[in-house]
Amino acid sequence: MILTNASKIRGEVSIPGDKSISHRSIMFGSIAKGTTRIKGFLQGADCLSTISCFSKMGIEIKNTPDEILVYGKGLRGLSKPDSLLDVGNSGTTTRLISGILAAQDFTSHINGDASIEKRPMKRIMEPLSLMGADIVSDRGNGCTPLTINGKKLHAIDYVSPVASAQVKSSILLAGLYADGTTTVTEPALSRNHSELMLKAFGANVSSSGTTARISTTEELYAQDILVPGDISSAAYFITAALITPDSELLIKNVGINPTRTGIIKVYLDMGGKIELLNKRTIAGEEVADLLVSSSSLHGTDICGDIIPTLIDEIPVIAIAASVAEGKTVIRDAKELKVKESDRIAVMTDNLTRMGADITATDDGMIINGGKPLRYAVIDSYLDHRIAMSFAIAALVSEGGVEIKDGECVNISYPKFYEDLEKVKG
Ligand code: S3P
């Protein structure tokens, strides 16, 4: 994929559906009674993996250009899949579905692509086992392939060592089926879409501070869901308009759930011009349009409780930090090492090739901004967020960039390059 630079970013872009909410709408719709109707669903490869897994368990899912219909069969309505559940590249599918499968009265097998086979699953295997689950890493390395023999589960109080919505959600989904009340306490609050959506579907779920709580639930009931745009996808356009001179971009339909808006806080703190317009609430989630203009950014420190609220945006924030004046220090972000790629190593390697001054640390990176970026060949390592981040770096680089395996943007934003082309001056 060859990406050129741009003299300005102008016009407007409408952001496709939120990946986290799209996954959950299929999963919760499948185990709810009745027909769940989903509009604004993200037709990315990860969410399509979730559809394929639930289809294999006997759930009819109609995917039309307008909406998705999930003919849910209730909490006990899934049937034994007759082959492996293929989760593709999707960590969310793997970890959330495991919580559901742990409580079914059948055995299932899960695996995905080469990246999924390296991602840590002990973080869900341990708490689910404490609940009575029988979940085995077939190769004994704490990764997929996993074999899950459904069992009767009991409630636990779990203090999670990581702030991870996937871990929290996996436990909450198992907790739906367990006897008693399950709690999950995280070191910092991660995205809370599961809590909000499970409540709307009728689960006995609540939260206070960094603790989420769920009790045995008799049944979930189908919902109409309008999926807001994904702030993690908007992040590329926000950054594009901030760092490219002479830019003004209206970014429409952006979910601004406070557990996801760390990037806006950080960019405002770096001197970014971002206005939130037309704030509204859609299906229990806050949404706004963002008006973003070229800004003279300066470096900042990014660490602590804000990290889970911007974890997927750190690669593109690193691009902005390379352009900003002064030093940016990112700490407490060890989780970056276990994403679709090791995002600390991959960002450091690729940004160095472009001429940036960046040093990897054990839990983040240090960037001395303001060095001119130049043409380089970028290895995406098949990580969608790396490919999109460097498409944005290209805008301000002398000579653009070439991205290897750039089509991996299909995972979360199939029309990314098209949308970017439309706003490039
Ligand atoms: C997600 C949670 C985050 C995020 C991922 C989506 C979710 O992962 O990085 O892209 O939908 O729950 P972790 O739970 O591993 O932090």
- Given 191, 226, 261, the domain boundary residue is 226
Verify that 91 and 171 share a domain, yes or no.
yes
Q: Looking at residues 247-274, what average pLDDT do you find?
A: 98
SS3 (DSSP) at 175 = helix
| 168 CA to centre of ligand 1 in angstroms | 10
Query: pLDDT averaged over the chain?
Result: 97
The residue contributing the CA closest to ligand 1 atom 13 is 164
| 174 CA to centre of ligand 1 in angstroms | 18
Share of the chain above pLDDT 90, in %: 98
CA distances in angstroms from 338 to 117, 335, 343, listed in the order given: 11, 6, 8
Ligand 1 within 6 A of 164 CB?
yes
Verify that 287 and 181 share a domain, yes or no.
no
* Chain segment 15-24, per-residue pLDDT in tens: 999 999 999 9
pLDDT at 368: 98
Most ligand 1 atoms within 8 A of CB, residue of 24, 171, 194, 311 to mutate = 311
* Chain segment 159-216, per-residue pLDDT in tens: 999 999 999 999 999 999 999 999 999 999 999 999 999 999 999 999 999 999 999 9
- Given 170, 204, 226, the domain boundary residue is 226
Q: In the chain, how many domains are there? A: 2
Most distant CA atoms of the chain, gap in Å: 60
The set of catalytic residues is: 312
**CA nearest neighbour of 32 among 214, 220, 198, 225:** 220
pLDDT at 425: 76
Structural domain range at position 375? 2-16+228-423
Q: Looking at residues 323-340, what average pLDDT do you find?
A: 98
pLDDT at 64: 93
Q: Looking at residues 50-73, what average pLDDT do you find?
A: 97
Helix residue spans in 192-230 (DSSP H) = 193-200
Verify that 104 and 143 share a domain, yes or no.
yes
Task: Please give the number of the atom of ligand 1 that sits closest to the Cα of 168.
Answer: 14
Ligand 1 within 6 A of 233 CB?
no
Task: Report how far residue 73's alpha carbon sits from residue 55's, in angstroms, rounded to the nearest whole number.
Answer: 12
pLDDT at 375: 97
Verify that 219 and 300 share a domain, yes or no.
no
Residue 394, C-beta contacts closer than 8 angstroms, at least 6 positions apart: 3, 4, 5, 400, 401
- Given 226, 242, 263, the domain boundary residue is 226
Verify that 416 and 359 share a domain, yes or no.
yes
**CA nearest neighbour of 309 among 194, 188, 161:** 188
| pLDDT range class, residue 65, cuts 50, 70, 90 | confident
* Chain segment 124-153, per-residue pLDDT in tens: 999 999 999 999 999 999 999 999 999 999
Verify that 214 and 306 share a domain, yes or no.
no
pLDDT at 122: 98
Ligand 1 within 6 A of 300 CB?
no
Verify that 161 and 256 share a domain, yes or no.
no
Verify that 120 and 146 share a domain, yes or no.
yes
Task: Report how far residue 91's alpha carbon sits from residue 290's, in angstroms, rounded to the nearest whole number.
Answer: 29
Verify that 203 and 275 share a domain, yes or no.
no
pLDDT at 283: 76
| 339 CA to centre of ligand 1 in angstroms | 9
| Residue indicated by tokens 């940036």 | 356
* Chain segment 275-316, per-residue pLDDT in tens: 999 999 987 899 999 999 999 999 999 999 999 999 999 999
Sheet of 181-185: strand order equals: 157-159, 181-185, 211-215, 204-208
Verify that 98 and 213 share a domain, yes or no.
yes
Tell me, yes or no, if the pTM score tops 0.95: yes
Task: Report how far residue 242's alpha carbon sits from residue 8's, in angstroms, rounded to the nearest whole number.
Answer: 10
Helix residue spans in 178-230 (DSSP H) = 193-200
Q: Which residues pair with 364 in a beta bridge?
A: 361
- CATH code of the domain containing 110: 3.65.10.10
* Chain segment 93-105, per-residue pLDDT in tens: 999 999 999 999 9
**CA nearest neighbour of 18 among 269, 242, 197, 222:** 197
pLDDT at 168: 98
| Residue indicated by tokens 């991205």 | 403
Residue 331, C-beta contacts closer than 8 angstroms, at least 6 positions apart: 301, 302, 303, 304, 361, 363, 364
